[in-house]
Amino acid sequence: MDIVRAETAGFCMGVDLALKRLDALVENEAHGPVLTFGPIIHNPQVLEDYARQGVRVAKSPDEIPAGSQVVIRAHGIPRDTERNLEGRGAEIIDATCPRVKKAQILIGRMAREGRIVLLYGESEHPEVKGLVSYASAGAFVFDSPEELLDFPFESGEKYCLAAQTTQDKTVFKEMIRALQERPGIDVAVLETICDATRERQKEAIAIARAVDFMVVVGGMDSGNTRRLAKVVADEGTPCVHVEIAAELPLDRLRGLSRVGLTAGASTPKKLIDEVQAVLEKL
């Protein structure tokens, strides 16, 4: 069996940096209680591994004991939550992805110019909640071009169009064009979309077209992993989404000549390697 493994499979830069910050804390023998504010990534195996090393997950600032070290994950957090955390007497390790941080800073700057932020994203996503907290002149979150075009724009008002870092760039460009075609709207555009998701999807599609079967590795709770499996399935290539090697459907895989392998941005290399090792034995 030939195995075609995606070069982009696994951690994106933001996840990698956040985990390195957490690893450095855990490895320091003199550390006090270490917590993450929310699950550090959407991968149950990684979370179990950290739990075994004593890392706890806090869901609210009230759960942070004084003297502890608390890691803010790659999605970032809202400003008021950050202020609450600062008041807890804990050391805060800000592992917000640099790309998310940049989006927060730019949105804050636009808000100070009095611009209302039009944010393309999922309103319940933690990153979006964080970004909106920087939009002090007001924000509108939407997840389709239709919703944006239905927005009651007012003449004399200033706007800023931005996006959650993992949104689709092509759709965002359509939105920019649609707004530019409307006369009399003062709108500044922030290019906040990160290419990590798009690159993974592009490569997964290219591989899916050249193989008999695709294996996508990653947490069932990981949105970007689920979307990877979906773009592969949309190509019509048979595909399976597994979290670990033991979940591979060996009966379906035996006898295939070319199998593609990719993984979401929150999947550790170790789990991808284990899946590859099982495939190689077939």
- For ligand SF4, the closer CB: 68 or 104: 104
Give the tokens for residue 43.
Answer: 């991968």
**Which parts of this chain interact with ligand SF4 (CB under 6 A)?**
12-15, 74, 97, 99-100, 165-166, 194, 196-197, 265
- Least distance (Å) from ligand SF4 to the CB of residue 104? 11
Give the separation between CA 68 and CA 25, rounded to whole angstroms: 11
- For ligand SF4, the closer CB: 85 or 194: 194
Give the number of other CB atoms < 10 A from CB of residue 48.
9
- Least distance (Å) from ligand SF4 to the CB of residue 33? 25
- Can you count the helices (H) and strands (E) in the chain? 11, 12
- For ligand SF4, the closer CB: 69 or 197: 197
Straight-line distance from the first to the last Cα atom of the chain, in angstroms, rounded to the nearest whole number? 7
- Least distance (Å) from ligand SF4 to the CB of residue 185? 28
- For ligand SF4, the closer CB: 166 or 262: 166
Q: Which among 127, 146, 154, 157 is annotated as catalytic?
A: 127
Give the separation between CA 127 and CA 114, rounded to whole angstroms: 22
> Is 127 an active-site residue?
yes
Torsion of CA 164, 193, 227, 122, to 10 degrees: 10
- Least distance (Å) from ligand SF4 to the CB of residue 74? 4
* Active site residue ranges: 127
